[in-house]
Amino acid sequence: MGIQVVRKDPVRCLIPESAMDGMRVPGLLYADGRILSEVKDDPVLRQVANVACLPGITGYSFAMPDLHWGYGFPIGGVAAFSREGGIVSPGGVGYDISCGVRLHVSRLEEEEVSRVLPALLDALFSSVPCGVGSEGLTSLKGNRLDAVLKGGARWTAKNGFGEIADLDRIEHGGCLDGAEPEEVSQRAKERGKGQLGSLGSGNHFLEIQRVDEVFDPTLAQSFGLEPGGIAVMIHCGSRGLGHQVCDDHLRILARSVSRHGIAIPDRQLCCAPLDSGEGKAYLGAMQAAANFALANREAIGSRVREVFSRFFPGERLELLYDVSHNMALMERHTYNGKEGLYCVHRKGATRALPPGHPGLPQLFAKTGQPVIIPGSMGTASYVLAGAKGSTECFCSTCHGAGRVMSRSAALKSADAGSVAARLKEKGILVRAGDLRTLGEEAPEAYKDVDVVVDVVERAGLSRKVARLRPLAVIKG
């Protein structure tokens, strides 16, 4: 039997508390008719309802329009848990801790880049390690790795793998100060010590893009986005280190959840009170893994800049913003007129701080936070800006297109060769660390990113600034 869904307005649907025993709050799904038709019979809606059963949840169990099945929490899920009586759950963050996106902008135009695009792409492919098990740009051992886990992108910027000027354009200034490297297992550190500055595999990518359309000329200009201009998008996370941190703490919390008297409708939702030893240990390890991800993207960005400078002497790729979409953060919010501290889980969802928000860097105080939404391979990506309506869901928005097809199903429907051929027909060059990835990441495996972005704009969560079209892509 399916989960009951009630239409609230053209882009919002409710899952009432009565839909399932144990729900403490309703579910709120951001979806138009097309999105709802894609998920109405999907078990992902039960995951939205399951999250609503967790202690301390406030407001709703939110689901963005890119939602799809995940481990415990749905991907595209947002849930805020009150400081008093609330919990933290690794399933609400996911295995790729602090997976995120950064966008570099340039003064280059498509015509200039097109002349050297194949050689430029080959140079990037050689310079940025990618694929399963790929090694990074430097080896981190002992205290050096702990320094990265503690310092994040601040460490890379100060040690020759990035730029200090970038830090104001990275979420949290490039570093989460609550990181506890001692809560990261030796196994996790072993997996991460050689991976700094590497792209990884799966849906991670590096893409050369053209600014295809501008929706808000004033905002676009302030973000350095001009029609026809060239940008570079990087999407990756904490690699094997973050995966191991999640795995380690899932095992710990699975053993302790009943001891804390917490009943969960799905064992994948194992969790711990925020003030418990297990909860604090996970938060400290998760933030250390997030710092690794921030450092990783900064190091990749540095290598991309080096390659571009060889082809275009004197040209500098400016960082617009770097933002994560798999995190649980302690944040202060005013919700229903009451200010409080919440642990906001965003799994496959990103922050979208509106203009004037105290958490914004000064340079974005008037515009709102840049929001970077990658599409599926070969389709458009978007730059948006945080809007005041995002306070409804603890200043959150979607993170991408969202899958409609599992990786195995995608492989059955499209092989790597046919995907590469279709991209070539569109004039998109592609390189991959593992050709199998092209089949798994075929465009038809994802929702229509134009529809997803339209929903979050109509809901008032973020505002469209510009659309970017791919010219060349490197897949892990």
| Residues annotated as part of the active site | 399
CA atoms within 13 A of residue 281's CA, in its CB half-sphere: 18
Structure tokens at 8: 């609230």
Q: Report the Cα 144 to chain-centroid distance in Å.
A: 26
**Three-state secondary structure of 92-159:** HCCCCCCCEEEEEEEEEEHHHHHCCHHHHHHHHHHHCCCCCCCCCCCCCCCHHHHHHHHHCHHHHHHC
Report DSSP state, residue 75. E
Indicate the Cα dihedral angle 60, 63, 68, 72, nearest 10°. Answer: -30
Angle between helices 143-151 and 277-311 (to 10 degrees): 90
Q: Give the C-alpha separation, 190 to 142, whole Å.
A: 10
Q: Give the C-alpha separation, 107 to 65, whole Å.
A: 33
Contact in structure between 460 and 387 (CB atoms under 8 Å) = yes
Structure tokens at 329: 């953060």
Closest CA to 468 of 77, 133, 247, 207: 207
Q: Give the C-alpha separation, 284 to 38, whole Å.
A: 37
The contacts of residue 247 (CB under 8 Å, 6+ apart) are: 95
DSSP 173-206: GG--TT--GGGS-HHHHHHHTT-TT---STT-EE
Contact in structure between 61 and 347 (CB atoms under 8 Å) = no
Contact in structure between 474 and 199 (CB atoms under 8 Å) = yes
Helix (H, G, I), strand (E, B) or coil at 280: helix
Q: Give the C-alpha separation, 359 to 82, whole Å.
A: 19
